[in-house]
Amino acid sequence: MNCIIKKNLLSEGKTKKIYRTSNPSEVLIHYKDTITAFDGLKNEFIQDKGILNNEISTLIFELINSYGIKTHFIRKINNREQLCQKVNIIPLEFVVRNIVSGSMSKRLNVQEGIRLSNPIFEIFYKNDKLKDPLINDHHAVFLKIISHEELNFIYLIISDINNLLKKYFLSKNIFLVDFKVEFGKNCDNDILLSDEITPDTCRFWDKKTMKKLDKDSFRIGLKKEKDTVKEKVFDIYMEILKRLNIR
Ligand code: TMP
Ligand code: ASP
């Protein structure tokens, strides 16, 4: 295995830092201990949350890679860092919904918990100033973010990822309610699944109790006592990791 030399910081987001490496086509992604909600309006520190998310995302990306779906993920380097292909992120968030929840429930005034006979795909334009609006394919193509062909290619991939992950999480007694993924282009212009897949970016409900096992525990719990909420969120992320580790 080649020795990886960590170089300067390339970018920093709300929950991750990206560092250059000695290989220009690879980066190190470092998971921080922060948790945010409502476009960063609520921002808290949860000790070692980054370690849990690094491990959870590693397990999920390893699974997706093993099915031949192309991702940026190369390997986990240490408890906080992963080696990944360097990509230019396409500024779109792709949301896949299997059960009605979150913004879809509010926007359309439909009851949370309704199971969708066909998954619903949504795209959100990653633009802080505009507060990441929901857009459609035609808007994305008009904005020259992506082509119709590339969108159709991504829809096929997210459908495969959804089928794979739905089954995988069900085997852990978890309903995959919805999730958000991002894609990027590497130096060869290949479209790769990128970013992370963690309880920050998915909704997981316990199959028996329907308890929320994801970042909603933070979003919803914000009105309660801060330290109690942080402990609960940590325990929930740990519970997800434990279930993923049971074979
Ligand atoms: P939503 O119901 O709030 O639109 O969220 C849909 C899914 O996308 C949910 O699993 C959480 C995830 N998500 C993110 O990963 N980042 C975000 O900024 C938002 C708003 C949602
Ligand atoms: N990811 C967004 C934030 O950090 C919104 C959310 O997940 O609720 O603020």
Q: Whose CA is nearest to atom 7 of ligand 2?
A: 37
Res. 224 pLDDT band, cuts 50 70 90? low
* Sign of the alpha-carbon torsion through 55, 60, 61, 66: positive
Nearest one of 223, 164, 153 to 189, comparing CA atoms: 153
The pLDDT score that the predictor gives to residue 102 is: 98
CA–centroid distance, 40 to ligand 2, in Å, is 6
What is the b/e burial string over 94-111, where b = at least 16 CB atoms within 10 angstroms of the residue's CB?
Answer: bbbbbbbbbebbeeeeee
Block residue for tokens 């459609």: 136
CA distance 108 to 112: 11
Q: Closest ligand 1 atom to the C-alpha of 103?
A: 2
Q: Ligand 2 pocket: which of 15, 32, 34, 39 to mutate (most atoms <8 Å of CB)?
A: 39
Stretch 37-52: mean pLDDT: 93
CA distance 197 to 191: 17
Stretch 1-8: mean pLDDT: 85
Res. 247 pLDDT band, cuts 50 70 90? confident
CA angle at residue 133 from 131 to 135, to 5 degrees?
A: 160
For 118-167, the pLDDT digits (tens) are: 999 999 999 999 999 999 999 999 999 999 999 999 999 999 999 999 99
Identify which ligand lies nearest to the alpha carbon of 95: 1
Q: Closest ligand 1 atom to the C-alpha of 39?
A: 18
- Average pLDDT of the chain? 96
What tokens does 129 get? Answer: 């100033």
For 94-115, the pLDDT digits (tens) are: 999 999 999 999 999 999 999 9
Whether 12 shows a pLDDT value over 80: the answer reads: yes
Q: Closest ligand 2 atom to the C-alpha of 200?
A: 7
Whether 93 shows a pLDDT value over 80: the answer reads: yes
Stretch 206-232: mean pLDDT: 89
CA distance 91 to 106: 24
CA distance 182 to 93: 5
The pLDDT score that the predictor gives to residue 43 is: 92
Nearest one of 146, 147, 148 to 91, comparing CA atoms: 146
CA distance 129 to 33: 25
Q: What are phi and psi of 52, to 5 degrees?
A: -65, -45
Measured N-to-C along each axis, helices 49-66 and 148-170 cross at an angle, to the nearest 10 degrees, of 110
Q: Full-prediction pTM beyond 0.85?
A: yes
Block residue for tokens 């998971």: 31
Stretch 84-90: mean pLDDT: 98
Percentage with pLDDT > 90 across the chain: 92
Whether 195 shows a pLDDT value over 80: the answer reads: yes
Does residue 102's CB lie within 6 angstroms of at least one atom of ligand 1? yes
For 60-74, the pLDDT digits (tens) are: 999 999 999 999 999
Identify which ligand lies nearest to the alpha carbon of 213: 1
The pLDDT score that the predictor gives to residue 222 is: 62
What tokens does 167 get? Answer: 């089954």
Identify which ligand lies nearest to the alpha carbon of 42: 2
Whether 1 shows a pLDDT value over 70: the answer reads: no
Residues with CB under 6 A from ligand 2: 14, 36-40, 215, 219
Q: Whose CA is nearest to atom 15 of ligand 1?
A: 201
